[in-house]
Amino acid sequence: MLADLRHSLRTLLRNPRFTFLAIAVLALGIGATSAMFSVVYSVLWRPLPYQDPSRLMVLLGATQGRGDRMPVPPGDFNAFRSRGQSFSNLAAAELWSPTLTGVDQAEELHGLHTSASLFDVLGVPAALGRTFAPDDDRPGAPKVVVLSHQLWQRRFGADPAILGRTIRLSNEPHTVIGVMPKGFYFPPFWANKAELYAAPAFGPDRAGSHTFSTLRVFTRLKPGVSLEQARSEAARIAASLAEEFPRSNQGRSAALTPLSEISTGKVRLLLIVMFAAVAATLLIACANLANLLLARAAGRAREIAVRQSLGAQRGHLVRQFLSESVLLACAGGAIGLLFAIWAVPALLAHLPESGVFQLPRSEEVGVGAAVVVFNFAVCLITGLLFGIAPALSASRCDIQIALKDGSRGTTAGGSAKRFRNALISAEVALALVLLVGAGLLLRTFQNLRSLDPGFQPANVLALNLSLSSSGHAKAELRSIYYQQLLERLRTLPGVKSASAVNHVPLIGDTWGSDITPEGRPAAPGQTLTAVYRVALPEYFSTLGIRFDAGRDFAMTDSEHAPAVAVINRTMARRLWPAENALGKRFKAGDAQSDAAWMTVVGIIRDTTQNEWGATPDNEFYVPFLQDAGYQHGDGGFRTMTLALRYSGDRAALAALIPPQVWSLDRDVAIPSIVALDDAVADSVWAQRAAMSLLAVFAAVSVLMAALGIYAVLSFLVRGRTQELGIRMALGAQPLQVVRLILQQALPPVAIGAAAGLAAALILARFIGSLLYGVKASDPLVFSSVTALILLVATAASLIPARQAAKVDPLTALRAD
């Protein structure tokens, strides 16, 4: 074996140009595949770092017949916890954004309010101190908090004496009871940045509520209980709640999903598409190298014949050729592993840090032992893939013909020719699939970029603020703060207008509410829902949202004035299709709810909210001062997003904003200042990334397919030099020679194109959720790609065909 390897190494070194080219191609292919594998394995396939993670589930509410997913109200959570027999434990959690106060510079932190059972459900103990105990959930219990290892290091200097220390969160004292292990995180994509955890998940005033909620529920299945059994029980409990609380729970069911699926969010399909594209490109590279090695094997016919005549066995020759291909693959794989080590951090640096396409578990992504093993396996497999056919072909060499003709003029046997044609067909098919995917995503990206979102994102800055100091405990004080701050911001250089809303489009959460138009109560089991926003005057003009009819909010729309609302065009058409919606009334909740009837005073154009390109939904806005539901009295939500329309230098303006905020209150944290057009770019990041990656790999694949066709035909022309010379000596015209070569080149191309079209029609459906405004079977994309493939293949074939037409008959006939 060692002798075979030494001989293979000497053989490869005698042809350095071929060896260098092959290693370079393999290094890029294997390296890119290993880099993508490290991401896919870490995010999708590696088990979650918890005790028996396969039994961890997420419980959400669901709308019967529609499949919508929604948070679970506290009353429902308590019912599932007390009645469920399939669950060993349940925990609830909701997002919490406290401000670390009582320090030199306030900072808004990412946190979770959880029930005390969360860490028991996950099966993860604290690294320092303890996690929550059942008593931490009881009403009136002291406020306690568990820190992440990262926050403990970043803000508290990894001080082991942190246990028992009181820190102020949103100006309320909390006692630190524990620090979680290094690397611990909460896996759902919407919560994986949490840095601290506080109990309880909700207070006693909400314990019996079955209405609006932001709770997500997590559970662990008991041993021996299957997912289907647990789902059946959850559906039965939801049905019983619908009978007990028809006003709130009618038409509501339950959905149970493995935590591993929830944790990946919307990136699962994107990562699979990227990994498949890289793997397809590597397969094309293998097909190319196999064709090149077949040509080299034919060129080494005399050498092989001599070795066979001296007693070399066929098995030994096969092993010799395979050792050459595996050596090439291992050399390429070693360099490719170094490339992957560099590429993974570079790839992570270009991923969005927030939004639905942020990469979960990114801190686990790296080139570890699993990637090294995968890289080695790919080296062996690729070496065998592109080496087996040349090895078998070389071992079947006809000794007498090879010794007589040598390498010159030798043509491959029928099996080698068929295999070369099959390789060309495979290359063309794979390249066509990648081109179709890139074409569909290109049209999607063009459609998304041309989409009118209903607002003007250019030159708008968004600033999320959370008022946590005791000076803003009352709703009217918070309103005064926002008004004073907005007045100051409007005086800054370049600011044209400024206002505030609970969540600007594409940034933050999307809240929903049941609605009831006056005089039209919903039928049993049916509800009308709408996206729900809270805004201050001038918000619509600041974002460039135009009115179809009516007016904006005014400062006179106070808590003592009649309740008013602004609705979008879709809601006006759905609720009052044949009437003018201005002056109509509706309320949040059902007809019997205590909410005030709101009068429609304005109708705006439809706007994109949390997902670019989503179908417009019902949407209504209420004045900040009138929304008791948002304010929740004196202890309610204290977060609003300020929006500023400006002209001039963005960075210069952003630097002027924090001093204005802190001049009114030093305890107000500024988590980030975001440009709305950057949020738009992030919202189409998945399509842009998939399009760019597929376009690159498709271009590389088409180039490799063209080179493969060229190499095969060039070899064919060299092998048939004498035949072509005889044909031309007997009167064949150059055009006839060109036609002869094309007739042999284009059939495998046509077969590959047909197979690629069939495969693309099937595989394009899998990226349907990434498409917008284009069908997965778009005829323009499929016809254009097919024409491009045939054009490139014909061009690649014409070069050796023209060389064949220029053969000098006398020179060809003299060749031995």
Task: Kindly report, residue by residue over 442-488, the tens digit of the pLDDT.
Answer: 898 888 888 888 999 999 999 988 776 545 556 667 778 888 999 99
Answer whether 0.85 is exceeded by the pTM: no
Residue 353 has pLDDT above 70, yes or no: no
Lowest mean per-residue pLDDT among 17-21, 59-63, 83-87, 238-242: 17-21
Q: Is 468 helix (H, G, I), strand (E, B) or coil?
A: coil
Do 4 and 320 touch, CB atoms closer than 8 A?
yes
Q: What percent of the chain has pLDDT over 70?
A: 82
How confident is the model over 159-182, as a mean pLDDT? 92
Q: What are the DSSP E strand ranges found in 486-527?
A: 495-501, 512-517
Structure tokens at 324: 């050459």
Q: What is the reported pLDDT for 163?
A: 95
With 50 as the cut, is the pLDDT of residue 633 above it?
no
Q: Is the per-residue pLDDT at 390 higher than 80? A: no
Mean pLDDT of all residues in 203-225: 86
The tokens describing 696, both together, are 């690159």
Mean pLDDT of 570-580: 93
Q: Which two tokens stand for residue 182?
A: 């290094």
State residue 458's pLDDT score.
Answer: 93
Helices (H), 300-313: 301-309
371 with 394: CB under 8 angstroms? no
Element (H, E) at 632: none
- The whole-angstrom separation of Cα 402 and Cα 764 is 48
Tens of pLDDT along 398-453?
Answer: 555 444 554 444 444 556 677 778 888 988 999 999 999 889 988 988 888 888 88
> Which H helix or E strand runs over 631?
helix 628-631
Instruction: State residue 307 phi and psi, 5-degree precision.
Output: -65, -35
Q: Please state whether beta strands 196-199 and 216-221 pair in parallel, antiparallel, or not at all (unpaired).
A: unpaired
Residue 659, pLDDT > 70, answer: yes
Q: How many CB atoms lie within 10 A of CB 698?
A: 25
pLDDT in tens, 701-718: 888 888 777 777 776 666
Q: Which backbone phi and psi does 516 adopt, to 5 degrees?
A: -135, 115
Token pair for 263? 């944790």
DSSP 158-215: T-GGGTT-EEEETTEEEEEEEEPPTT----STTTTT--EEEE-SS-GGGTT--SS---
Q: What is the 3-state secondary structure (H, E, C) of 196-210?
A: EEEECCCCHHHCCCC
Pairing between β-strand 619-623 and β-strand 528-535 as defined by DSSP bridges = parallel
Least confident of 489-498, 592-601, 793-802: 793-802
Selection from 120-134, 266-280, 321-335, 727-741 with the highest mean pLDDT: 120-134
| Burial of 250 per CB tally in 10 Å (0-12, 13-18, 19+) | middle
Task: Extract the tokens encoding 538.
Answer: 């001038």
DSSP H helical segments within 720-778, as ranges? 721-729, 734-763
Instruction: Among 225-229, 261-265, 510-514, name the most confident range.
Output: 225-229
What are 217's strand-pairing partners?
A: 59, 92
Torsion region of 393: left, alpha or beta (phi above 0 gives left; psi -120 to 50 gives alpha): alpha
Average pLDDT for the chain: 82
Annotate 245-260 with three-state secondary structure: CHHHHCCEEEEEEEHH
Distance CA 45, CA 260 (A): 9
Question: Rounded to an integer, what distance in angstroms lies between the CA atom of residue 314 and that of residue 320?
Answer: 10
Phi and psi dihedrals of 142, rounded to 5? -60, 145
Helices and strands, counts by H and E, the chain: 25, 24
Token pair for residue 796?
A: 């690649």
Residue 476's pLDDT is what? 67
Task: Choose between 642 and 694: higher pLDDT.
Answer: 642
Residues 680 and 674: their CA atoms lie apart, in Å, by 11
Give the number of C-alpha atoms closer than 13 A to the C-alpha of residue 784, restricted to the C-beta side.
13
pLDDT at 8 over 80: no
- Taking CB atoms within 8 Å and a gap of at least 24, the contacts of 237-242 are 237/79, 237/80, 237/83, 237/84, 238/61, 238/62, 238/76, 240/83, 241/76, 241/79, 241/210
Q: Where are the domains of the chain?
A: 1-48+266-410, 53-262, 469-668
